[in-house]
Amino acid sequence: MKHKLFAAALAAGLAVFGNADAQTVGIATSNPGSIFHNIGTAVAKAANDAGLNATIQPATSPNQYMPLVNQNDVEFGVGNLEEFNNALKGEAWFKGSVNENLRVVGLIMPIKEAIFVRADSDIKTTADLKGKPMVDGYTAQQTILPQLDAIYATAGLTRADMKPVQVPSVVAGADAFISGQSVGFIFAHGAGKVREADAAVGGLRALTIPDTEEAKAAIRKHWKSGYVVKMEPGPATPGVLEAGTYIAYPQLVFTNAAADEEAVYKMTKVIYESKDSMKAAFPPFAEFEPKDMIGETAPGEYHPGAIRFYKEVGLWKE
């Protein structure tokens, strides 16, 4: 590992796993409380148990750390596939910054996402948000704006229909909601920050979206890889008060073309073989299916170290 991404954050006691004798790699994630930090922490714990020493290196968002993984300042990262491919091609919020060295390690379980409001509020649907103060801006995490657009579009709304509450990131957005500045916030189901918000306000409601062809088309206009999934209430999903449908999209662990092939091979093997361990650390890994680590990622390409492992287990097809 060439550089420590945010040394001050690490020194403050963020997750560091492993022993001095193991090969050491970094895993770039978003800030504590975020879905990507939860995922990265679970992967790092599994890697440490397998003898591949991994340190969590948090940043505000993939906007910041995808370029660092691209240039091999950090070996691995966690993100969503759409943002990964935007970074790879230098499109959308990565315009002017082509990250052509990014490579796929493997797909993991999808992100399932919602706008959350207080369970005791009179906001029951996405349409009820119209005219209300809602988180916006996301200057340090620009991937969130089209996700908001996609959810609003399912109700025939746009961000212009809300009173914007400017925040830099999803974690800051949740804090704005907890403090009463915003009536809602967007976050991934199961993330630590959602649990914090649920406890802080005495209960959340995750606003559902319609399971219709019109809603799906509206989502894809803003978020090409988005689709709709059904969720049931359960202890791992605060805010899901009844069965309903929500937006989902693929996420992945990624690396860079120059990353050591053996390290990538070992990390791929760790993820493939460690579902139970990762589930214990972060329950949403219950939906992770190792056989689905290979999938459609174009234009993103798999790293040779990952391909070597997938060939060994019979998953890789040229």
Give the number of residues written for the chain: 318
The packing angle between helices 192-201 and 170-178, to 10°, is 10
Burial tier of 24 (Cβ tally within 10 Å: 0-12, 13-18, 19+): middle
CATH of region 7-109+251-312: 3.40.190.10
pTM of this structure? 0.84
In this predicted structure, what is the pLDDT of residue 9? 38
- Taking only the tens place, the pLDDT of each residue in 125-141 is 999 999 999 999 999 99
Cα four-point dihedral sign 50, 253, 147, 61: positive
Picking from 93, 106, 90, 176, the residue whose alpha carbon sits closest to that of residue 136 is 176
Structure tokens belonging to residue 304: 């040779």
Structure tokens belonging to residue 154: 């399912």
In this predicted structure, what is the pLDDT of residue 22? 55
- Provide CATH 3.40.190.10 ranges for the chain: 7-109+251-312, 111-249
- 105/188 Cα distance (integer angstroms): 22
- Domain 111-249: CATH superfamily is Periplasmic binding protein-like II (3.40.190.10)
Alpha helical stretches, state H, 77-191: 81-89, 144-153, 170-178
- 253/44 Cα distance (integer angstroms): 12
Q: How far apart are the first and last CA of the chain?
A: 31
User: Max Cα separation, the chain?
Assistant: 57
Element (H, E) at 249: strand 244-249
Residue for token digits 């914007």?
164
Q: What torsion, rounded to 10 degrees, do the Cα atoms 41, 44, 48, 54 define?
A: -120
Check if the beta carbon of residue 114 is closer than 8 Å to that of residue 247: yes
Residue for token digits 């945010």?
6
Residues with pLDDT less than 50, the chain: 1-21
Structure tokens belonging to residue 124: 């029951």
- 307/314 Cα distance (integer angstroms): 10
Structure tokens belonging to residue 289: 């299916």
Picking from 201, 39, 40, the residue whose alpha carbon sits closest to that of residue 118 is 201
